[in-house]
Amino acid sequence: MKKIPPHTIRSFRKKIFRFYALHKRDLPFRKTTDPYRITVSEIMLQQTQVDRVVPKYLAWIKRWPTWQKLAGATNRDLLTMWSGLGYNRRALMLHRLAQTIVTEYRSKLPEDPEMLKTLPGIGPYTSNAILIFAYNKPLVTIDTNIRRVILHELNLPTSTSVEELLDIAFQLLPKKRSRDWHNALMDYSRLVLPNRIERIPALSKQSKFEGSLRQIRGEIIRQVTKKPFVTLEYVSRLLNRSMADVVKAVEGLEKEKLVTLKRSRIQLT
C-alpha cells in the first residue's frame, strides 16, 4: 500500500481544515449527534442531493423524532413523506430498521460497525458514516466526493482501488476529529472542486431519470399515496408510456413489497 509522507499529511490536513473553518456548510443534520437523526440523514443522502434532502429531513424529524415514533408509522405515511427523494424502498428499509432497533436493541443503535452492517438498509459506507457523525469514531468512509478530493489533492491515478483509498484515507485521518474531517472533505469537494474534477469519474453513474422505469415507479408511488389505487391504463396515459413499461415498473415495485397489482389495479402493499 502507498505510504503518505508525514509532511504531506500535515499539509493536507491544514489546507482542508483551514477551508472548513471559513466555508463549512450550515446543514441541520450537522447540528446533532443523535444516532437516530444521523441515520435518517445518511439514508436520505444516499444517491440524493443535499438541497433535496434538507426539507425532507426536517419534516421527517418533526413527524417522527425517535426510533419509537418511526416504528409505528404506516407505509402510506412513510411513502408520502418520502415522495420526491426517489428510491422509495429506502423509506421502508428505514422503517424496518426502526422496528428492529426498538424490538431487539431497546431503542439504542449498536455502536459496533460489524453489527450495524447486519441491520436493514445499512451497508459498509452507511455503517461507518453513522459512527463517524454520531460518535466521532476514528473510522474512514469513502464516497464519490471524498474519493475525488483524495485523488485530486494527492495527484493519484483514477484507477486507484477503493481498498487503496481506504488505506490512504486512514493515514490522512486526524483520529480525534473524524466527524469534522469527513464534513470538511465533503464541503471541499462540493465547493472547491466541481470545475476541476472532470477527469475524475464518479464511483457509479446514476442512470437518466427522464423516460426511465424509475420515473414510472416514482409516479406510481406518488399516485397511490394520494388515492386508494390507480390502474395500469391510467399510469400509461398519464406518462405516455407503453403498457409493457408500466407493467415492468410495477413488477419491480411488487418485488420490493411497495405495491400490489390486482386486476390491473395498483395499490400500496
Which CATH code of 1.20.120.140, 3.90.79.10, 3.30.930.10, 1.10.340.30 fits the domain covering 34-135? 1.10.340.30
Residue 42 is a catalytic residue: yes
CA distance 67 to 108: 9
The pLDDT tens digits for 153-175 are 999 998 899 999 999 999 999 99
pTM over 0.75: yes
Residues 56-85, mean pLDDT to the nearest whole number: 96
Domain 6-26+138-191 has CATH 1.10.1670.10: yes
Q: Is the pLDDT of residue 195 over 80?
A: no
Question: Model confidence at 197, in pLDDT bands (50, 70, 90)?
Answer: low
Q: Which of 104-118, 168-182, 195-209 has the lowest mean pLDDT?
A: 195-209
Class of domain 213-268: mainly alpha
Q: Which of the two residues, 199 and 29, has the higher pLDDT score?
A: 29
What is the per-residue pLDDT across 206-251, written as a single tens digit (0 to 9) for each? 556 677 888 899 899 989 998 999 999 999 999 999 999 999 999 9
Query: Whose CA is closest to 27, among 196, 149, 202, 184?
Result: 184
Domain boundaries, the chain: 6-26+138-191, 34-135, 213-268
Query: What gap in Å lies between CA 228 and CA 268, rounded to an integer?
Result: 8
In whole angstroms, how far apart are CA 66 and each of 2, 50, 58, 208? Answer: 43, 22, 13, 35
Set 42, 104, 198, 219: catalytic member: 42
